[in-house]
Structure 1
Amino acid sequence: MAPLTLGYNDKHPFTQVPITDRSSVQELLRTLLDPLEPFFSPQKALVKCPGATAVRFDQRASEVEGFFRPLWGLACLLAGGGEYRLTEWWIRGISAGTDPESPEYWGFPRDNDQRMVEMCPFGFALAVAPDLWKGLSTKERANVENWLGNSINEKNMPNTNWLWFRVFANLGLKQNGAKYSEERLESDIKHLDTFYRGDGWSNDGPEGIHQMDYYSSSFAIHFLQLLYAKLAGESDPSRAKEFKHRAQIAALDLAHYYDVEGRAITFGRSLVYRFAMVSFWGAMAYADVDLPAPLTWGMVKGIVLRNLRWWQTKNDIWTSSGTLSLGFAYPSMYVRITENYNSPGSPYWSCLAFICLAVPEQHPFWTSKEEPISLQIPKVKAIRQPGHITSYLGGHCMLLSSGQACGYPMKATHAKYGCFAYSSAFGYSVPSGLFSLEQYALASQLGLSDDGGEYWKTRRLSEYAAIEERDGQPILVSVWKPFSDVKVKTLLVPPAEETPNWHLRVHHIQAGREVMTADGSFAILNVNSENGRYLDLYDASKCEGTSPKIIGNYDLNSPAGWDTGINGAFAAAPNRGAVGIKALEEGGRQAMLVNADPNTNLMDSRTTIPTLQHTIPQGHGVWYVSAVYARPAGDGVPKESYLDGWNKPPAIPAWLALEMAAA
Structure 2
Amino acid sequence: MTYDPATANPLFGNPLKTRDDVEKGLRDLFTPLLPYFSEGSARVRLDGAGAHFDRAAADLEGFARPLWGLTPLAAGGGDFEHWELYRQGLANGTDPEHPEYWGTVNGIDQRMVELAAIGFTMKMLPHLVWDPLPQRAKDNLAAYLKHTRKFEYADNNWKFFRILVDLGLEQCGVEFDRSYTDTFLKELEGFYLGDGWYRDGNVRRIDHYIPFAMHFYGLIYAKLANGDEKRVADYKERARLFAEDIQHWFDEDGGTLAFGRSLTYRFACGGFWGALAFADVEALPWGVIKGHFLRHLRWWSKLPIANGDGVLSIGYGYPNLFMSESYNSAGSPYWALKAFLPLALPADHPFWTAEEVEADFHAKPVPLKHPGMVMQHTKGNVVALSSGQQNWQMRAGTEKYAKFVYSSRYGFSVEVDERAYHNGAFDGALAFSDDGRHYRVRESNEVAQIAENVLFARWKPWSDVEVETWLIPAHHWHVRLHRINTPRALHATEGGFAIARADLNADTYIDEAGRAVAKSKTDVSAILDLGGKREGRAFRAFPNTNLIVSKTIVPQLRGEIAAGTTVLVTAAMALPAGAEAEAALATPPHAPDLAALEALFAREGVDVSAILVPERF
Could you state the TM-score of these two structures normalised by the residue count of structure 2? 0.94
1:325 aligns with 2:313: yes
The superposition leaves residues 229-279 of structure 1 with CA deviations (integer Å, 9 ceiling, x where unpaired) of: 0001x4111100000011011110001011111111101011000011110
- In structure 2, how many angstroms separate the alpha carbons of the residues matched to 1:359 and 1:226? 14
1:630 aligns with 2:613: no
Look up the match of 2:614: none
Instruction: Map 1:435-514 onto structure 2 (within 5 A).
Output: 435-437=419-421, 439-452=423-436, 454-469=437-452, 474-495=453-474, 500-514=475-489
Q: Secondary structure at 1:217's aligned position in 2?
A: helix
- In structure 1, how many angstroms separate the alpha carbons of the residues matched to 2:14 and 2:235? 34
- In structure 1, how many angstroms separate the alpha carbons of the residues matched to 2:252 and 2:598? 37
Contact 1:256 1:397 in 2 (8 A): yes
1:343 aligns with 2:329: yes
Look up the match of 1:547: 510
Corresponding residue to 1:266 among 249, 258, 267? 258
The superposition leaves residues 401-421 of structure 1 with CA deviations (integer Å, 9 ceiling, x where unpaired) of: 111112x42111111000111
Corresponding residue to 1:302 among 263, 288, 291? 291
Contact 1:390 1:398 in 2 (8 A): yes
Q: Secondary structure at 1:646's aligned position in 2?
A: helix
1:281 aligns with 2:273: yes
1:288 maps to a residue whose letter is D
Corresponding residue to 1:313 among 283, 302, 305? 302
- In structure 1, how many angstroms separate the alpha carbons of the residues matched to 2:6 and 2:591? 51
Contact 1:230 1:286 in 2 (8 A): yes
- In structure 1, how many angstroms separate the alpha carbons of the residues matched to 2:119 and 2:524? 46
Q: Pick closer, same or farther for the CA change 1:175–1:656 going to 2, 3 Å.
A: farther
1:113 maps to a residue whose letter is D
Q: Pick closer, same or farther for the CA change 1:378–1:124 going to 2, 3 Å.
A: farther
Q: Pick closer, same or farther for the CA change 1:305–1:378 going to 2, 3 Å.
A: same
Corresponding residue to 1:400 among 365, 385, 389? 385
1:222 aligns with 2:222: no
- In structure 1, how many angstroms separate the alpha carbons of the residues matched to 2:337 and 2:422? 35
Contact 2:496 2:527 in 1 (8 A): yes
2:585 maps to a residue whose letter is W
1:212 aligns with 2:198: no
The superposition leaves residues 13-34 of structure 1 with CA deviations (integer Å, 9 ceiling, x where unpaired) of: 4213232211111111000110
2:204 maps to a residue whose letter is H
Q: Secondary structure at 2:574's aligned position in 1?
A: strand
- In structure 2, how many angstroms separate the alpha carbons of the residues matched to 1:282 and 1:354? 7
- Out of 295-304 and 279-288, give the one that drifted further: 295-304
Instruction: Map 1:83-102 onto structure 2 (within 5 A).
Output: 83-102=79-98
Contact 1:6 1:320 in 2 (8 A): no
Contact 1:41 1:47 in 2 (8 A): yes
Q: Pick closer, same or farther for the CA change 1:656–1:299 going to 2, 3 Å.
A: farther
2:537 maps to a residue whose letter is M
Contact 1:492 1:504 in 2 (8 A): yes
Q: CA deviation at 1:395?
A: 4.4
CA-atom RMSD in angstroms: 1.9
Look up the match of 1:539: none
The superposition leaves residues 492-549 of structure 1 with CA deviations (integer Å, 9 ceiling, x where unpaired) of: 1123xxxx2101111011112211111100111111xxxx22244xxxxxxxx1212x
- In structure 1, how many angstroms separate the alpha carbons of the residues matched to 2:110 and 2:117? 13
Could you state the TM-score of these two structures normalised by the residue count of structure 1? 0.87
Instruction: Map 1:246-257 onto structure 2 (within 5 A).
Output: 246-257=238-249
1:579 aligns with 2:576: no
- In structure 1, how many angstroms separate the alpha carbons of the residues matched to 2:516 and 2:237? 46
Contact 2:252 2:379 in 1 (8 A): no
1:25 aligns with 2:11: no
- In structure 2, how many angstroms separate the alpha carbons of the residues matched to 1:79 and 1:267? 33
Structure 1, unaligned runs of 5 or more = 537-544, 549-562, 634-638
- In structure 1, how many angstroms separate the alpha carbons of the residues matched to 2:328 and 2:315? 10
2:505 maps to a residue whose letter is Y
Look up the match of 2:114: 118
The superposition leaves residues 156-195 of structure 1 with CA deviations (integer Å, 9 ceiling, x where unpaired) of: 3221111111111111111221133311111011011111
The superposition leaves residues 85-138 of structure 1 with CA deviations (integer Å, 9 ceiling, x where unpaired) of: 212211111111111111111111121111111011111111112221122122
Segments of 4+ moved more than 6 angstroms? none
Contact 1:62 1:345 in 2 (8 A): yes
- In structure 1, how many angstroms separate the alpha carbons of the residues matched to 2:358 and 2:595? 36
1:41 maps to a residue whose letter is S
The superposition leaves residues 338-397 of structure 1 with CA deviations (integer Å, 9 ceiling, x where unpaired) of: 00000001000000000121122212211111112345x773111111111111245421
Structure 2, unaligned runs of 5 or more = 603-617
Contact 2:6 2:12 in 1 (8 A): no
1:237 aligns with 2:226: no
1:311 maps to a residue whose letter is W
Q: Secondary structure at 1:645's aligned position in 2?
A: helix
- In structure 2, how many angstroms separate the alpha carbons of the residues matched to 1:277 and 1:438? 35
The superposition leaves residues 310-355 of structure 1 with CA deviations (integer Å, 9 ceiling, x where unpaired) of: 11111x21112210001011100xx330000000010000000001
Look up the match of 1:290: 282
Q: CA deviation at 1:439?
A: 4.8
The superposition leaves residues 586-634 of structure 1 with CA deviations (integer Å, 9 ceiling, x where unpaired) of: x23111122211000001111111011111122x21111101111136x
Contact 2:286 2:350 in 1 (8 A): yes
1:398 maps to a residue whose letter is V
- In structure 1, how many angstroms separate the alpha carbons of the residues matched to 2:356 and 2:559? 49
- In structure 1, how many angstroms separate the alpha carbons of the residues matched to 2:119 and 2:597? 59
Contact 1:299 1:374 in 2 (8 A): no
Contact 1:66 1:344 in 2 (8 A): yes
Corresponding residue to 2:35 among 31, 35, 38? 38
Contact 2:5 2:308 in 1 (8 A): no
What is the percentage of aligned positions where both structures have the same residue? 39
Contact 1:153 1:181 in 2 (8 A): no
Q: Pick closer, same or farther for the CA change 1:649–1:533 going to 2, 3 Å.
A: same
1:194 maps to a residue whose letter is G
Contact 2:73 2:79 in 1 (8 A): yes
Look up the match of 1:540: none
1:564 aligns with 2:513: yes
Instruction: Map 1:126-165 onto structure 2 (within 5 A).
Output: 126-130=122-126, 131-149=128-146, 151-165=147-161
- In structure 1, how many angstroms separate the alpha carbons of the residues matched to 2:136 and 2:2? 42
Contact 1:430 1:440 in 2 (8 A): no
Aligned residues: 598
1:192 aligns with 2:182: no
Look up the match of 2:608: none
Contact 1:503 1:628 in 2 (8 A): yes
Contact 2:5 2:306 in 1 (8 A): no
Look up the match of 2:607: none
